[in-house]
Amino acid sequence: MRVTTAFKRLLRLEDVNVTDVEFLPALVVVTVVLRRRRLVCPHCEHKTRWRYDTRPAPSSWRHLDLGVWRVEVRASLRRLVCPTHGVVAEGVPFARPGAHLTRDFDDLLAWLATRMDKTSIARLCRVSWRTVGRACERVVASDLDPGRLDGLFRVGVDEISWRRQHKYLTLVVDHDRGRVIWGAEGRDSVTLDKFFTDLGPQRSGLIEAVSMDLGPAFLKSVRAEGHAPQAIVCADPFHVVQLATTAMDEVRRWVWNNLRDLPDQRYAKAFKGARWCLLKNPEDLNAAQQAQLGRIRRTRGGMWRAYEMKEQLRAIVAGGDLSRDEAAKLLRAWCRRAARSRLASFVRLAGTIRERTDMILNAIEHGISNGRVEGFNTKVRLIIRRGYGFHSAKAALALVMLAAGPITLTLPHEQPAT
C-alpha cells in the first residue's frame, strides 16, 4: 500500500485525495487536493465553476496528532467571487470557515473543554487556551440546534458571572426539555430583548410562564409589547431564599463583630464557625453543627430570630400543599414579623417581598421554579472557572452551550470507519 493511500484512510478527510506525505522531525505534512470541481463559498451555499484566481501560498490546517507527531494538512485553494461575501477562498469540507484547525480537531477541543481543566487541554493538545475558545465558538456556530427555540412554553431566565469585574451572561433555560437554549452577554432588559427578537412574536405568544429573580430588569423585558406579556411571571424560590439567607448572614456578621469587641473572648470563640450551621438546611447538619445551633437557640437573641425567619420563608416558598390564599396569608404574616424584627436587613427584605408577592405566589401556585436553572448554574460555574482565560464573552457562552445546551458532539473515533 502506498503511503498516500494509507494516510487517506488514516485521516479520513472528506472529498480529498492525498498527493504527498512529508515526514519532518516533529511534524507530518500531508498535502491534499480537493476532488470537487465547483468552487464553494465557505460562508454560504453559493457555488460556481469560475475562479477568481489561485492563492499563491498553500493553506494549512492542524489535524489530530499521530502519536508524538503533529499532523498538518496543506492544500492549494482557489478564490471565487461570492455575490454576498465578495472575493473569498473556497471552502474545504474538512474544516469550518475561518479555521486553521480541521473539523475533527475542533470537535476534540470542544469536547475536552467541558471535561478538563485548561492547563491539561493545552498540554495534551499542544495549543493555547485562546485557541480552545475559538474552537468552541466555531463548533457552537455550526452545530447548535436551529430548532431549539421552537415549542417553548415554560422558560427560566437567570444571569451568571463569567469573569471577574462584573461581567455577566444571561441564560435562558427551557424548563420542559431541561437545557440551556439561549444566552448573551449582559444582564439587563436590553440583553433579554435580544432573546425575544430571535424568538419572534409568534413563538413569544406561546410562552405560558417565565421564572426569574426578583430584579426589575428581566420583568421589564418580558412585559414589553410584542414579547410575552401574557406569560405568568414567577419569582424563583431559590432567589427568594437566597435573599433571606443573605439578610441572615448580615445579622451573623454583626453579632460576630460585637462579640469580638467584648473583653471576654469566650463568647466569640463559642460563636466562631456558626456560619455553616446557620446556612445549611437543618436536615443536613452534622452532630457538632446541631449542637452549636442548639446553643444559639438558647440565647433567643437576634441571631436566632433571623435564623427562624429564614427557615419560615424557605418553608413558605417551598409550597407543598399550600393553596394560593394560604401562602398569601403566611407571606403577609412573615412580612409583618420581619418588619417588626428590628433587624435592618430583614426590614428591607420585607419591603422587597411585599413588592413581589404576586410573583412568589405564582411560583407556589404553578409549581414553577428556577431550580433547574440553578442546577445548570452550578454546572456552568464549574465550566466558567475554566473559561477565565477567555477574553471573549462569545467563547465563554460557547463553553456554556457545549456543557448544557442542545449540542451533541461526535468524536472522531466514534464516527463509522470508511
Q: Convert the pLDDT of each residue in 68-119 to its tens digit.
A: 899 999 999 999 999 999 999 999 999 999 899 999 999 999 999 888 887 8
What pairing do the DSSP bridges indicate for beta strands 27-34 and 16-23?
A: antiparallel
Measured in Å, how far apart are the chain's first and last C-alpha atoms? 17
User: What local confidence, expressed as pLDDT, does residue 379 receive?
Assistant: 65
Would you state the torsion angle of the CA atoms of residues 242, 244, 246, 249, taken in this order, to the nearest 10 degrees? Answer: -130
C-alpha 110/C-alpha 106 separation (Å) is 6
Handedness of CA 57, 62, 66, 70 (dihedral sign): positive
The C-alpha cell of 325 is what? 390564599
C-alpha 304/C-alpha 302 separation (Å) is 5
Q: 78-106 burial, b if ≥16 CB within 10 A, otherwise e?
A: eebebeeeeebbbbbebbbbebebbbbbb
Which range, 81-95, 157-171, 400-414, is most confident? 81-95
Q: How many Å separate Cα 414 from the centre of its chain?
A: 26
**In angstroms, what CA-CA distances link 31 with 66, 399, 417?**
15, 32, 22
User: What local confidence, expressed as pLDDT, does residue 387 receive?
Assistant: 61
Domain ranges of the chain: 1-94, 154-236+369-412, 238-366
| Average pLDDT of the segment spanning 327-336 | 93
Q: Convert the pLDDT of each residue in 227-280 to its tens digit.
A: 999 999 888 788 888 899 999 999 999 998 888 888 888 888 888 888 889 988
| Average pLDDT of the segment spanning 279-307 | 89
Please state which architecture CATH assigns to domain 154-236+369-412: 2-Layer Sandwich (3.30)
Nearest to 138 by CA among 418, 366, 395, 336: 395
Nearest to 234 by CA among 203, 215, 213, 217: 213
C-alpha 248/C-alpha 242 separation (Å) is 10
C-alpha 410/C-alpha 108 separation (Å) is 9
C-alpha 89/C-alpha 87 separation (Å) is 7
pLDDT higher than 90, residue 19: yes
Q: Convert the pLDDT of each residue in 172-213 to its tens digit.
A: 988 888 788 999 999 899 999 999 999 999 999 999 989 888
Q: How many Å separate Cα 18 from the centre of its chain?
A: 41
| Average pLDDT of the segment spanning 43-62 | 92
pTM of the model: 0.80
pLDDT exceeding 90 applies to what percent of the chain?
A: 45
**In angstroms, what CA-CA distances link 65 with 11, 49, 190, 412?**
10, 35, 44, 12
C-alpha 9/C-alpha 18 separation (Å) is 10
